[in-house]
Amino acid sequence: MTAAEHRPTTGAATPDPVLAGHDLAFGYDPDEAPVFSRLSVEVHPGEVLAVLGPNGGGKTTLLRLLAGSLTPRSGTVSVEGSAVRWNRRGVNELRRRVQLVFQDPDDQLFSASVTQDVSFGPLNQGLDRETVRSRVAWALEELGITELAEHPTHLLSYGQRKRVVLAGAVAMLPSVLILDEPTAGLDPAGVESLLETLEGLRRSGTTLVVSTHDVDLAYRWAERALLLNGGTLGCGPVADVLGDPELVAAARLRPAWGPAAGKALRSVGLLAPDAPDPATADEVAALLRH
Ligand X SMILES: Nc1ncnc2c1ncn2[C@@H]1O[C@H](COP(=O)(O)OP(=O)(O)OP(=O)(O)O)[C@@H](O)[C@H]1O
**61 vs 160, beta carbon nearer ligand X:** 61
Nearer to ligand X, 133 or 213 (CB): 213
Q: Does 95 bind ligand X (CB under 6 A)?
A: no
56 binds ligand X (CB under 6 A): yes
Q: Which is nearer to ligand X, 32 or 150 (CB)?
A: 32
Does residue 28 bind ligand X (CB under 6 A)?
yes
The interface with ligand X within residues 36-55 (CB under 6 A) comprises 53, 55
CB of 60 to ligand X, least distance (A): 3
Cβ 77 to ligand X shortest distance, Å: 16
Q: Which helix (H) or strand (E) holds 37?
A: strand 36-43
| Least Å from the CB of residue 52 to ligand X | 9
Interatomic CA distance for residues 77 and 206, integer angstroms = 19
Backbone angles phi, psi at 24, to 5 degrees: -75, 135
- Give the number of other Cβ atoms within 10 Å of residue 106's Cβ: 13
What is the β-pairing status of strands 232-237 and 207-211?
unpaired
Within the chain, how many helices (H) and strands (E) appear? 12, 10
**Position among 59, 162, 163, 224 found at the interface with ligand X (CB under 6 A):** 59
Q: Is 97 in contact with 174 (CB distance < 8 Å)? A: yes
Q: Which stretch binds ligand X (CB under 6 A): 58-66, 73-81, 113-121, 139-147?
A: 58-66
Write the CA distances from 277 to 29, 38, 220, 259, 274, integer angstroms: 43, 33, 10, 6, 9
Q: How far is the CB of 195 from ligand X (least distance, A)?
A: 20
Q: Does 35 interact with ligand X (rule: CB under 6 A)?
A: yes
The answer to whether the beta carbons of residues 40 and 21 sit under 8 Å apart is yes
When the beta carbons of 22 and 252 are compared against ligand X, the nearer one is 252
Among residues 17, 39, 41, 60, the one that binds ligand X under rule CB under 6 A:
60
Q: Is 259 in the site for ligand X (CB under 6 A)?
A: no
Q: What spatial distance separates the first Cα and last Cα of the chain, rounded to whole Å?
A: 42
| Beta-strand relationship, 232-237 and 224-228 | antiparallel
* DSSP H/E element including 198: helix 188-203
Question: Which of 151/213 has CB closer to ligand X?
Answer: 213
- The interface region with ligand X, picked from 56-64, 87-95, 127-135, 248-256 by CB under 6 A, is 56-64
Answer for the pair 24, 72: CB distance below 8 angstroms, yes or no.
yes
At closest approach, how far in Å is the CB of 32 from ligand X? Answer: 8
C-alpha distances (whole Å) from 184 to each of 11, 191, 245 are 38, 8, 25
Closer by beta carbon to ligand X, 56 or else 152: 56
Under rule CB under 6 A, residue 21 binds ligand X: no
Query: Which is nearer to ligand X, 115 or 211 (by Cβ)?
Result: 211
Rg, Å, the chain Cα set: 20
Annotate each residue in 218-257 with x if it binds ligand X (CB under 6 A) or - if it does not, as one string.
----------------------------------------
The residues that touch ligand X, with contacts defined as CB under 6 A, are: 28, 35, 53, 55-61
